[in-house]
Amino acid sequence: MPEQIKVLVVDDSAFMRKSISIMLEEDKNIKVIGTAKDGVEGLELTKRLRPDLVTLDIEMPRMDGLTTLEKIMKECPTPVMMVSSLTTEGAESTLRALELGAVDFIPKELSFVNVNIIKIREELIRKVKEIVSQRSLRRRFRNLRAPSLVQKQIEYTPRFKSLPKIGYKAVALGISTGGPLSLQKVIPKLTFTSVPMFIVQHMPPKFTKSLSQRLNDLSSITVKEAEEGEVVKNGTVYIAPGGFHMTLKKHPGFNTIHISEQPEDTLHRPSVDVMMNSVIDIYGKYTLGVIMTGMGKDGSEAVDRLKKVGGYTISQDQESCVVFGMPRAVIEMGNADVVADLEKIPVIINEAI
């Protein structure tokens, strides 16, 4: 963590700008280096001041928060935490913000004059420090906003354009930044009913349920947030609940899902590596691994294990990723059998199964 975390506060309310600044600076490790009254000003200051994190309101004049967020991620990628009365749990605006790349969110009171606004102070400080303390997250954002703003294309030679049909028994998919929107372009197009699918999407707690419901409404196959102890069924997509790991337990003739906070020492919870390794424990080489858009390399270790036992993997290509981190790690290790555009991934999965 840097000596002082540099934060930019963007909110159209002068009261909220002042309140958030005061709350943040009660912690000596946090410094508010600027404030902005709307999205236009916020975007300009993000580019000029290079903060470690931006707190961003949604309802603002001239340029709203979601538009600002989208422009920040394209023009000057920076960790953003949404702070708005509209970012309540399960709200469409919150899910949309996460789809656009927001790292996290915190709700504020609907009334700016309500003294209960102070209740967000501890959570606000905790989240800011937690986000910025992740060195890999900060490093990846710095790499993304290099002066050229262009990611170097990596050279790779995928083994196949489509996957061998080996009789897959399960699909294990890992995804992070940019995931909610990307999953909406993949899951509704899946048609298989003969195997289960397990997904880890890096999201805050309680939001995976909203994401699961949205995907289920769009899909012909069943999509649900995984629950402790439920029996695994074919033709069902299980999404790990935010803040918890999802693993499998084998029983005579059936398998069940286990939801736990253990292990505690993972960078992400849920973790793609934890989930995928557990799926491999049960289904072995008949696990189809899929790694999509996201920062970091979560999932690469499990994919490496999958390859060693004879399994196959799909990685999303660089051009269609919001952040080309997790797929890149798999590709650079030589473990991507197929490298595919986002639109082609469901086609390849359906054909393989």
Token digits for 75?
Answer: 């023009």
Q: Name residue 55's beta-bridge partners.
A: 9, 81
- Among candidate residues 168, 187, 191, the one with its CA nearest the CA of residue 353: 168
- Encode the chain (353 residues) as per-residue pLDDT tens digits: 557 999 999 999 998 899 899 999 999 999 999 999 999 999 999 999 999 999 999 889 999 999 999 999 888 889 999 887 655 554 678 778 877 888 777 776 544 445 556 667 877 888 888 778 765 466 657 666 654 444 455 656 667 778 999 999 999 999 987 788 899 999 999 999 999 999 999 876 777 888 899 899 999 999 999 999 999 999 999 999 988 999 999 999 999 999 999 888 888 889 999 999 999 999 999 999 999 998 789 999 999 999 999 999 999 998 888 778 899 999 999 999 999 999 999 999 999 99
Token digits for 134?
Answer: 């992740």
- Among candidate residues 171, 156, 345, the one with its CA nearest the CA of residue 275: 171
| Same fold across 5-144 and 170-352 | yes
| The pLDDT value given to residue 110 | 45
Domain ranges of the chain: 5-144, 170-352
Q: What angle do CA 106, 112, 113 make, to 5 degrees?
A: 135
| The pLDDT value given to residue 188 | 97
Annotation says 176 is catalytic: yes
Token digits for 212?
Answer: 């699961």
pTM for this prediction: 0.74
The one catalytic residue in 176, 271, 300, 315 is 176
Annotation says 202 is catalytic: yes
**3-state DSSP assignment of residue 36:** strand
Count the alpha carbons within 13 Å of 58 in the hemisphere toward its beta carbon: 23
CATH architecture of structural domain 170-352:
3-Layer(aba) Sandwich (3.40)
CB atoms within 10 A of CB 190: 21
The one catalytic residue in 12, 64, 202, 271 is 202
CA distance 317 to 344: 10
Q: Are 248 and 255 contacting, i.e. CB atoms less than 8 angstroms apart?
A: yes
Residue range 5-144 forms a domain whose CATH class is alpha beta
| The pLDDT value given to residue 87 | 53
The one catalytic residue in 57, 64, 104, 298 is 298
